[in-house]
């Protein structure tokens, strides 16, 4: 157990709909990352938040948005859903390492199916 | 920015054999290299990591080597077992990049046949 929690585990919805995925980072971690993983694909970086502010942005669609709240949990909002948005969505939080740098710990993911 | 290449994309070995997965990186400023194991339906799990001031690190059947000059690092799994079957991702730290603090390789699907 990494200490990162994600809800829900599974989500089934229809095209055109909007969903919200939730992530709680490990205790004490200030950074949250969101990744998308399509079938048999690698980890596509979407966006990073640090202590409530957007820190880095990857290949995130305009239909997608995220935010990090004062209690450090984060939400990823996906709107106008398309069939191709079906994927696993992972959240990770990062911890500082002794000697500098950071590593990432991943949550169990949310499996989204758009029908 | 940093770019990480990972090979092979798939690897099949017999139980008890060794498995080696290789990654190369482009940014000489990268100084931290973690490896993740992702089992089916689960999130990636950190299994071992290495810093640029160390050439090799070992943890039981898993070892990682780093060649800073050539900018490549490898994961070695000895005496493979069926439970080692998973997708393995390498990553390299990104300094000031736009992709977050880690850049991931595309993954290697390891199958260990009993």
Strands B19-25 and B4-7: what pairing?
antiparallel
Q: Please name the residues in contact with B60: beta carbons below 8 A apart, sequence gap of 6 or more.
A: none
Predicted local distance difference test score (pLDDT) of residue B49? 92
Whether B36 sits inside 8 A of A101 (CB atoms) is: no
In DSSP terms, B99 is beta-bridged to none
In DSSP terms, A90 is beta-bridged to A35
Predicted local distance difference test score (pLDDT) of residue B102? 86
pLDDT at residue B24 tops 80: yes
In percent, the amount of chain A with pLDDT more than 90 equals 77
Whether B105 sits inside 8 A of A42 (CB atoms) is: yes
Q: For A17-54, write each residue's pLDDT tens digit.
A: 999 999 999 998 999 999 999 877 789 999 999 999 99
Q: For B83-93, write each residue's pLDDT tens digit.
A: 999 999 999 98
Band of residue B53 on the pLDDT scale cut at 50, 70, 90? confident
Predicted local distance difference test score (pLDDT) of residue B78? 97
Strands B86-93 and A110-114: what pairing?
unpaired
Predicted local distance difference test score (pLDDT) of residue B36? 97
Cross-sheet strand order for the sheet of B56-59? B4-7, B19-25, B72-77, B62-67, B56-59
Contact of A1 with chain B, judged by CB distance below 8 Å, is answered with no
Q: Which candidate in A10, A42, A60 is best for mutational testing of the B interface (most B CBs within 10 A)?
A: A42
Whether B44 sits inside 8 A of A108 (CB atoms) is: no
Is residue B44 exposed (0-12), middle (13-18) or buried (19+ Cβ within 10 Å)?
A: buried
In percent, the amount of chain B with pLDDT more than 90 equals 76
Contact of A57 with chain B, judged by CB distance below 8 Å, is answered with yes
Chain A CB contacts of B31 below 8 Å:
100-101
């Amino acid at each position: 157990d990494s200490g990162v929690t994600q809800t829900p585990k599974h989500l089934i919805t229809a095209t055109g709909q909007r969903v919200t995925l939730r992530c709680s980072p490990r205790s004490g971690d200030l950074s949250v990352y969101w990744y998308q993983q399509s079938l048999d694909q690698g980890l596509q970086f979407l966006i990073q938040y640090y202590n409530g502010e957007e820190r880095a942005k990857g290949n995130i669609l305009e239909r997608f948005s995220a935010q990090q709240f004062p209690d450090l949990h984060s939400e990823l909002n996906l709107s106008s859903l398309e069939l191709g948005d079906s994927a696993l969505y992972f959240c990770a939080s990062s911890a500082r390492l002794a000697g500098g740098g950071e590593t990432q710990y991943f949550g169990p993911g949310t499996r989204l199916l758009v029908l | 920015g940093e770019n990480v290449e990972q090979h092979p994309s798939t690897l099949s070995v017999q139980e008890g054999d060794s498995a080696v997965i290789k990654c190369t990186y482009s940014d000489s400023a990268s100084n931290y290299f973690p490896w993740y194991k992702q089992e089916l339906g689960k999130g990636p799990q950190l299994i071992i990591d290495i810093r640029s001031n160390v050439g090799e690190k070992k943890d039981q059947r898993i070892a990682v080597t780093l060649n800073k000059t050539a900018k490549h690092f490898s994961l070695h799994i000895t005496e493979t077992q069926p439970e080692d079957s998973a997708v393995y991702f390498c990553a390299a730290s990104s300094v000031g990049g736009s992709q977050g603090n880690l850049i991931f390789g595309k993954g290697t699907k390891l199958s260990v046949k009993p």
